[in-house]
Structure 1
Amino acid sequence: MSASRKTVLIILAFFAIYVIWGSTYLLNKIAVTELPPFFLASIRFVIASIIIFIIAKILKIDISITKKQLKNTAIAGFLFLTFGNGVVVWALKYVDSGLTALEISAQPLVVLILMRILQGKKIPAMSYIGVILGFIGIYLLVSQKELVSQDGQLVGMITIFICMISWAYASIFVGKANLPANFFVNTGYQMLTGGIMLGIVSLCLGETWTNPTSWTSNVQWSMLALIIFGSIIAFTAFNYLLKEVSPEKVATSTYVNPIIALILGWWVLNEHISLQSIIAAVVLLTGVYFINTKRVLKPRSIGR
């Protein structure tokens, strides 16, 4: 692949995880008002994986996989989708879509800390500022009285943070694991295994499974968009980027995701955006900037 084509693919992939994923919070929020969360997530990912494999066959892409690769895709599927996504969808029953995206904007902070713990990676001086701002932003977000006083809101936000740890660990794991070389196929197997596990969780919890023809049109359109754009396109782009750039760079999608989600949640669902949430957003995103900046704190030389 030529350098210019690779650059274009990386730019398009970043657009997908920046903008498309920003809209999935709204889409999931709409769907979860009518459908059980784990059933919703299971249907989304299983159907998306089937479509991916059909497209792969049409394009004559080899979908064979080794036992080791199947095991690794199942681990990634569980961390990313079964737990990392499925539980977030559950939390959306109690937490506004914009606030969910805003909390998840601290993802680079979690990735950085895990890379320090698991890989011994040194945290740059600028990133320490980002870590401090990140914790302050999270505190400002979850300490709001209107959130604490509402049933399920605080528990939902704590659960989302735990999901962020799962997603962050998975990001590091995927960057090093033996997975199918084709990113499209890799995505398909992660979604298939993750979706099957979500279905098992749904059945164990006794969730009611319904026929798509009985869903309202808003839920049908939301699910279609989640499958095509949020799953097939954006998640394939995400897996591609994890192999081409560092996990910290991939996590910068959190710059844009909460902004898109907050605007859509306010515009479509009339979700309230408090002043404290706006302040938390500014602090969190500033922290994310410092975590990802390459600048180094050093004395300025005389005459320069």
Structure 2
Amino acid sequence: MGTTKNPLFIVLAFFSIYVIWGSTYLLNKIAVTELPPFMLASIRFATAGLLIFGISRAMGKRLRITRAQFFNTAIAGFLFLAFGNGVVVWTLRYVDSGFAALIISAQPLVVLVFMRIFEGKKILPMSMVGVALGLTGIYLLVSQKQVTSEENSVLGSIMIFCCLLSWSYGSLFVGKANLPTNHFVNTGYQMFAAGIILAIASLAFNEPWSSPFNWSTPVQYSMLLLIIFGSIVAFTAFNYLLKVISPEKVATSTYVNPVIAMILGWYFLDEQITSQSAIAAAVLLTGVYFINTKKKLMVLSRFTSKASTFLKKN
């Protein structure tokens, strides 16, 4: 998959980061009920990275990268996966999967603010509306009594927000960093680096490791799906999009992920969807329209202009 803006690739890539990633909250929630969080994430990413290396070699892709590229993939692996995802898995012991996904849905707003701070990019009026809606939605979400009254839920919410900051900065970093030109190889190095970092974290926290043969069947299937689809397919699509689409557009996946996560959590895990959570989700999802509305308004303006010219001529 090259850096060419192939419309089919872009559509499939957005489907991956919208739908597949939305399901990973459920899969992680199932697995973390039985496995230590950092061990879980370490095995997932290290295995996915090794599989990507094997597939890349079979496809004749070069795995050799420069020292700078290796260093940058390690940074990206830490920002996105080791901290950005590994800590989220840890928080799923204390919060519902849909709740975690909803907090992370604020990522496009943080990306816009970071682009303003680090790149001096002007925030458009419509995007400001999106920011306001996002802040309102987050307030509605975290102010619920069902959330604030549960043990460690506040700590979990704070740590998820820290992960959100890590992912947001990582999105800007990857967009400009010197990384392997092949997105599949790039993903492999990020995955493997994150797996090693998470393994060190797991040992530091004295997590007990166990053989996959001793895991329950639901956990085994969850890990398999996380490795193949959640890691290899979706993250490769994510890296591709960061090179061909602006970061704030890629970050809109976090608006769709919560809907998928909430539905799956409700259906498979009997997680409660309160009316306030539903309202918060609706408010947050509305924000994606305002972040993406500039292009739509330009298209509408061109259409109106052409229609007006046609009417005058006829």
What interval of TM-score do these two structures reach, taking the shorter chain for normalisation?
over 0.9
Query: What is the rounded CA distance, in whole Å, between the counterparts of 1:74 and 1:270 in structure 2?
Result: 37
Distance in 2 separating the partners of 1:274 and 1:2: 43
RMSD over aligned Cα, in angstroms?
Answer: 1.9
Post-superposition shift, 1:254?
2.1
2-side partners of 1:33 and 1:60: how far apart?
A: 40
Deviation (angstroms), 1:5:
8.2
Q: Superposed, which structure 2 residues align to 1:257-296 within 5 Å? A: 257-294=257-294
Alpha carbons of 1:5 and 1:107: their partners in 2 closer, same or farther (altered >3 Å)?
closer
Does residue 66 of structure 1 match 2:72? no
Unaligned runs of 5+ in 2: 309-314
Alignment of 1:30-41 (within 5 A): 30-41=30-41
Contact 2:3 2:243 in 1 (8 A): no
- How far is the alpha carbon of 1:157 from its aligned partner? 1.2
Unaligned runs of 5+ in 1: none
Instruction: Tell whether the 8 Å contact from 2:72 to 2:178 is kept in structure 1 after alignment.
Output: yes
CA contact (8 A) 2:3 2:244 kept: no
Determine the C-alpha separation between the residues in 1 that align with 2:68 and 2:218: 40
Structure 2 CA distance for partners of 1:194 and 1:279, relative to 1, 3 Å: same
- Residue 270 and residue 287 in structure 1: after superposition, are their counterparts in 2 closer, same or farther (change >3 A)? same
2 CA distance for matches of 1:245 and 1:234? 16
**Shift in alpha-carbon separation, 1:100–1:3, aligned structure 2, 3 A:** closer
Aligned to 2:105: 105
Structure 1 partner of 2:188 = 188
1:1-304 correspondence runs (5 A): 6-294=6-294
Distance 1:3 1:72 in 2: 18
3-state SS of paired residue (1:93): coil
Change (3 A) 1:106 1:150: same
TM-fit CA distance, 1:202: 0.5
Residues 16 and 234, structure 1, Cα contact 8 Å, conserved in 2: yes
1:287: Cα distance to partner? Answer: 2.1
Contact 1:109 1:288 in 2 (8 A): no
Q: Distance in 1 between matches of 2:21 and 2:2?
A: 28
* SS across alignment from 1:197: helix
Q: Per-residue CA shift, 1:236-292, capped at 9, x if unaligned?
A: 000011001110111111232111111000000000000110111111111232123
Q: Partners of 1:277 and 1:110 in 2: how far apart? A: 21
CA distance in structure 2 between the partners assigned to 1:4 and 1:175 by the alignment: 15
Structure 1 CA distance for aligned equivalents of residues 154 and 140 of structure 2: 13
Bigger Cα displacement from structure 2, 249-258 vs 68-77? 249-258
Any idea what the Cα deviations from partners look like across 1:140-176, whole Å, max 9, x if unmatched?
A: 1001011100001121111111100100000000000
Partner SS, residue 293 of structure 1: helix
Q: CA deviation at 1:209?
A: 0.5
- Percent identity over the alignment? 65
Deviations 1:24-51 (A, max 9, x none): 0000000000000000000000000000
In 2 relative to 1, CA 283–37 (structure 1 residues): closer, same or farther, beyond 3 Å? same
Cα 1:179–1:116 shift into 2, 3 Å: same
Structure 1 residues 180-227: Cα deviation after superposition (integer angstroms, max 9, x where no partner): 000000000000111100000000010011000000000000000000
Q: 2:252 is paired with a residue of what secondary structure?
A: helix
Q: What is the alpha-carbon distance in structure 2 between the residues aligned to residue 192 and residue 254 of structure 1?
A: 24
Structure 1 CA distance for aligned equivalents of residues 291 and 59 of structure 2: 40
Paired with 1:107 and 1:4, the residues of 2 have a C-alpha distance of: 26
The 3-state SS of whatever aligns with 1:62 is: coil
Please identify the structure whose Cα radius of gyration is greater. Answer: 2
Deviation at 1:6, TM superposition (A): 1.5
The structural deviation recorded for 1:103 is 1.4
- Does the 8 Å contact 1:144/1:276 carry over to 2? yes
User: Counterparts of 2:5 and 2:238 in 1: how far apart (Å)?
Assistant: 17
